[in-house]
Structure 1
Amino acid sequence: MKKKSAVHLCLVGGLILLTAQLSLLVLLLYPYNQYHIHFLKDVGAFVNISSKLHMSVFVVDSETLQHFINQKNEHKTQCVLCEARHPATFVTLFRGFKQSVEFMSVLQEAGFHVVVLQNTNPPEVPSGISINVPICYLLKRNIVIHLVLFHEREGNYWWHGNLLSDPRAISELSSFGLSLHSAQMMKTEGAFDKFETELVHMDHIPVLIPKDISRFLRDTRSSRYIECNHILADLFYRSHGKDTTHEALRFVHRAWKLLSKAKTLLDKLGVRFWLSSGTCLGYFRQCDIIPYSKDVDIGIFITDYSEKILPEFLDHGFTLKHWFGRVNDSLELSLSSGELKLDIFFFYEDGQFLWNGGTQAKSGRKFKYVFPRFTLCWTEFLELKVRVPCETQAYIEANYGSDWFTPVTRWDWKSSPSNVRENGEWPAEDWAEVMRVYN
Structure 2
Amino acid sequence: MSGKMDFSKQVSALKVRTLLTAVCCVCVISIGYSYFFVHNFHFLKLSQDNIDNQLENIETLLVASRTHTVPLLLFDIDILPNIFVPRSKTWKDTLHQCKILCKHHPEEKNVITFAALATKFIASKEDYINSLKHLGFTVHLSEVADPKQKGHSNPDMIPAYLWMARKKHVIHIAFLHERGDDIKYMWVGPVTDQDWMDTVAAITPAIGEGWHSIDAVGAKFPRYAQGYDLSHRFTGLPIYIDNHRISVPYHIRAFLDEYANSRFIECDHAKAENFVAKYEIEIPQQDKLFQEAAKKMLVETKKIFEKIKVPFWITGGTVLGWYRQCNIISYDTNLDIGVWKHDYKEEIISAMEENGFFFKSKFGTLKEGLELAFLDKSDTKINIHVFSNGHDHVTHLRTRKDGKRFLFSYPPFELCWSEFVGIKVKVYCDSLMYVSLYFGPGWYKPQKDWLWYVNSNHAIPMGHWTQHEWKSVMQVHHRESKKENLKK
CA distance in 2, matches of 1:116, 1:97: 12
Pair 1:39 & 2:54 matched: yes
CA contact (8 A) 1:64 1:84 kept: no
CA contact (8 A) 1:46 1:107 kept: yes
Aligned counterpart in structure 1 of residue 44 of structure 2, from 9, 19, 29: 29
1:343-358 alignment to 2 at 5 Å? 343-358=383-398
Q: Determine whether 1:284 maps to 2:299.
A: no
Cα deviation for residue 420 of structure 1 reads 0.6
Matched residue of 1:352: which SS? coil
- Does the residue aligned with 1:367 lie in a helix, a strand or coil? strand
Q: Distance in 1 between matches of 2:349 and 2:443?
A: 32
Q: Does the CA contact (< 8 Å) of 1:138 and 1:145 recur in 2? A: yes
1:114 aligns with 2:129: no
Distance 1:357 1:26, change over 3 A: same
List gaps (5 residues or longer) in structure 1: 1-20
Alpha-carbon distance, 1:26 to partner: 6.1
Q: Please say which structure displays the higher CA radius of gyration.
A: 2
Contact 1:366–1:422 at 8 Å: present in 2 too?
yes
Query: Residues 51 and 104 of structure 2 are in contact (CA less than 8 Å); yes or no, is this contact kept in structure 1?
Result: no
* One-letter amino acid of the structure 2 residue matched with residue 90 of structure 1: F
Task: Give the counterpart of 2:222 among 168, 172, 186.
Answer: 186
One-letter amino acid of the structure 2 residue matched with residue 437 of structure 1: V
* 2:449 is aligned with 1:410: yes
Cα displacement string for residues 199-247 of structure 1 (whole angstroms, at most 9, x for unaligned residues):
1121112211101100110000110111111111111111112443221
Which residue does 1:144 correspond to in 2?
A: 170
Contact 2:51–2:103 (CA under 8 A) maintained in structure 1: no
User: What is the CA–CA distance in structure 2 between the aligned matches of 1:54 and 1:321, rounded to whole Å?
Assistant: 53
> How many residue pairs are counted as aligned between the two chains?
413
Letter of the 2:339 partner, please give it.
Answer: I
Shift of 1:83: 3.2
Classify the secondary structure of the residue corresponding to 2:449. Answer: coil
Report what 2:112 is aligned to.
Answer: 88
Alignment deviations for residues 135-175 of structure 1 (CA, whole Å, 9 cap, x no partner): 111101121011111111134211111111x7232242264
Q: Could you say what the CA RMSD is over the residues aligned between the two structures, in angstroms?
A: 2.5
2:283 and 2:330 in contact (8 A); partners too: no
Task: Indicate if the aligned counterparts of 2:180 and 2:424 stay in contact, CA closer than 8 A.
Answer: no
Cα distance in 1 between the residues matched to 2:84 and 2:197: 33
For residue 235 of structure 1, what is the aligned residue in structure 2? 274
Whichever residue aligns with residue 192 of structure 1, its letter is Y
Within the alignment, does 1:135 sit opposite 2:160 as a pair?
A: yes
Q: Distance in 1 between matches of 2:74 and 2:46?
A: 25
Q: For residues 278 and 225 of structure 1, do their structure 2 counterparts lie closer, same or farther at Cα, with a shift above 3 Å needed?
A: same
The equivalent residue for 2:22 is none
SS in 1 for 2:264: coil
Q: Counterparts of 2:55 and 2:259 in 1: how far apart (Å)?
A: 25
Please point out which of 55, 80, 94 is paired with 1:65. Answer: 80
Matched residues in 1 for 2:124 and 2:373: separation?
Answer: 50
SS in 2 for 1:163: coil
Residues 6-36 of structure 1: per-residue CA shift (max 9 Å, x gap): xxxxxxxxxxxxxxx9999765433222211
Q: Check whether the contact 2:89–2:99 (CA below 8 A) recurs between aligned residues.
A: no
Matches within 5 A, 1:355-434: 355-362=395-402, 364-434=403-473
Q: Shift in Å at residue 381 of structure 1?
A: 1.0
1:87–1:75 distance in 2 versus 1, CA, 3 Å: closer
More displaced stretch, 342-351 vs 27-36: 27-36
The separation in 2 between residues aligned to 1:144 and 1:225, in whole angstroms, is: 26
2:393 is aligned with what amino acid?
F
